């Protein structure tokens, strides 16, 4: 259903993100579905897929035999690890798209960026074992999962350096979507680095049940993905609802959320290294954890402020829906097809006049062109020249 001329290598990187995410979803969710059905049968129909013989609970021997608790962990994480890429890949696409638009530069290494998304999606299916290093896994399997996990650092680093390359020497406009895209890159790197530590089984055995893991995944796939959602919202709100969001409120929202997020999750790493146990209701009664309580107080206050800051976003969203200034067709001087149609688009998206595509998605600051962006649908003859 792609427009004439819209080859795969002319698709915006957002589409690459959604494309690979769709494939990951198709392959991963089915496994969770199967596991979920088996677990329901174990709970309700007396089967023993995940329950071994001789299980004693409340001094009662359970009437199950032959199942393997480890099987659930394998099924769950075979879904669970691709799931984190399902959350983050669209954000990567949005970050690339927004960074390029607001740096007024083509995405550095477009082909490498698209291939890195595919590479991350592919490798994402081979690393689920790193969630299970403490399950009594053989050291040889642990070694294989460890090496494969760290190899995801290669396409991730390609993306990170290409984001920096996109920014390098650009005419950077710090609008709200751009701030959140920059925040995405920052959080992805901060959270990704602790992933390299956790990828080593020897280190993971010590840190697995601590707040270090909580801090790691909240930064890299929790808040980073949320920043991708915020960047997308501020960027596309004018197209979706025909009105602009408030810039000052967006900037206040960004800084409170960005600083707040780091205030919550940076101290959490140190709580984890000091042995702070995760999923533990009351650490105040444990002597060696009592000295960490001041850090917990700091994180809690930061969490309250960050949570309250989201009210600014919700107010901005609904206020702008009603009272924001009317949005033009292309408020950001962007190049891709959604900016050629009305805001919001008509029912069939293009009012019956479907565009043809003549160029790649990120032709910003092309030498010799009159304007600093050339939309994808402009035929070569329509492009205004400087002279």
Contact positions with another protein (CB under 8 A) in 235-274: 236, 239-240
> Which of these ranges, 118-126, 137-145, 195-203, 351-359, lies near another protein under the rule CB under 8 A?
351-359
Residues in region 131-150 near another protein by CB under 8 A: none
User: Could you check whether the bond before residue 137 is cis, i.e. omega within 30 degrees of 0?
Assistant: no
SS3 81: helix
Does 82 interact with another protein (rule: CB under 8 A)?
no
Q: With contacts defined by CB under 8 A, how many residues of the chain interact with another protein?
A: 90
How far does CA 102 lie from the centroid of its chain? 20
Shortest distance (Å) from residue 148 CB to another protein? 21
Residues in region 52-81 near another protein by CB under 8 A: 52, 55, 57-58, 60, 62, 67, 69, 72-73, 76, 80
Q: Which of 118, 206, 229, 259 binds another protein (CB under 8 A)?
A: 229
Note whether 384 and 33 are within 8 A (CB). no
Shortest distance (Å) from residue 175 CB to another protein? 18
Rounded to an integer, what distance in angstroms lies between the CA atom of residue 23 and that of residue 17? 10
Q: Which helix (H) or strand (E) holds 61?
A: strand 60-61
Whichever of 197 and 241 has its CB closer to another protein, that residue is: 241
Does 275 interact with another protein (rule: CB under 8 A)?
no
Does 371 interact with another protein (rule: CB under 8 A)?
no
Q: Which of 9, 22, 53, 147 binds another protein (CB under 8 A)?
A: 22
Binding track over 83-112 against another protein, x by CB under 8 A: x--xx--xx--x------------------
Cβ contacts of residue 387 below 8 Å, gap of 6+?
none
Does 347 interact with another protein (rule: CB under 8 A)?
yes
Does 23 interact with another protein (rule: CB under 8 A)?
yes
Half-sphere exposure of 252 (CA within 13 A, CB side): 14
SS3 385: strand
Residues in region 155-184 near another protein by CB under 8 A: none
Residue 288 to residues 207, 213, 214, 281, 291, Cα–Cα distance (Å): 16, 19, 20, 16, 7
Can you tell me which residue has the tokens 């008509």?
346
Residues in region 280-339 near another protein by CB under 8 A: 281-284, 293, 296-297, 299-300, 303-304, 307, 310, 314, 317, 336-338
Shortest distance (Å) from residue 183 CB to another protein? 15
Helical segments of 64-138, H only: 69-103, 110-123
CB atoms within 10 A of CB 137: 18
> Which of these ranges, 149-157, 173-181, 202-210, 234-242, lies near another protein under the rule CB under 8 A?
234-242
Rounded to an integer, what distance in angstroms lies between the CA atom of residue 120 and that of residue 126? 10
């Amino acid at each position: 259903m792609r427009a004439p001329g819209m080859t795969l290598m002319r698709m915006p990187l957002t589409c690459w993100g959604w494309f690979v995410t769709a494939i990951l979803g198709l392959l991963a969710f089915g496994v969770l579905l199967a596991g979920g059905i088996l677990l329901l049968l174990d709970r309700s129909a007396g089967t023993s897929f995940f329950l071994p013989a001789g299980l004693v609970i409340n001094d009662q021997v359970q009437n199950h035999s032959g199942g393997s608790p480890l099987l659930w962990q394998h099924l769950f994480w075979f879904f669970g690890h691709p799931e984190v890429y399902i959350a983050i890949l669209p954000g990567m696409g949005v970050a690339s798209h927004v960074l390029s638009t607001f740096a007024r530069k083509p995405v550095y290494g477009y082909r490498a960026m698209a291939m890195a998304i595919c590479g991350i999606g592919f490798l994402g299916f081979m690393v689920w074992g790193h969630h299970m290093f403490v399950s009594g896994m053989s050291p040889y399997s642990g070694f294989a999962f460890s090496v494969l996990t760290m190899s995801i650092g290669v396409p991730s680093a390609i993306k990170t350096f290409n984001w920096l390359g996109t920014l390098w020497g650009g005419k950077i406009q710090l609008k709200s979507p751009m701030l959140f895209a920059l925040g995405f890159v920052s959080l992805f790197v901060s959270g990704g680095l602790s992933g390299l530590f956790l990828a080593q089984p020897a280190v993971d055995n010590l840190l697995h049940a601590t707040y270090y893991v909580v801090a790691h995944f909240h930064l890299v796939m929790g808040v980073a993905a949320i920043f991708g959602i915020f960047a997308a919202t501020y960027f596309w709100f004018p197209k979706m609802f025909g009105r602009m969001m408030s810039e000052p409120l967006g900037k206040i929202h960004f800084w409170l959320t960005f600083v707040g997020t780091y205030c919550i999750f940076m101290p959490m790493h140190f709580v984890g290294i000091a042995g702070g146990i995760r999923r533990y209701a009351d650490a105040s009664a444990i002597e060696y954890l009592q000295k960490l309580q001041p850090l917990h107080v700091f994180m809690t206050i930061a969490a309250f402020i960050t949570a309250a800051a989201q009210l600014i976003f919700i107010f901005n969203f609904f206020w702008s829906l009603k009272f924001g200034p009317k949005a033009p067709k292309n408020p950001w001087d962007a190049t891709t097809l959604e900016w050629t149609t009305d805001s919001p688009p008509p029912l069939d998206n293009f009012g019956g006049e479907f565009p043809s595509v003549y160029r790649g998605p990120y032709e910003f600051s092309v030498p010799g062109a009159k304007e600093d962006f050339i939309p994808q649908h402009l035929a070569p003859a329509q492009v205004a020249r400087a002279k």
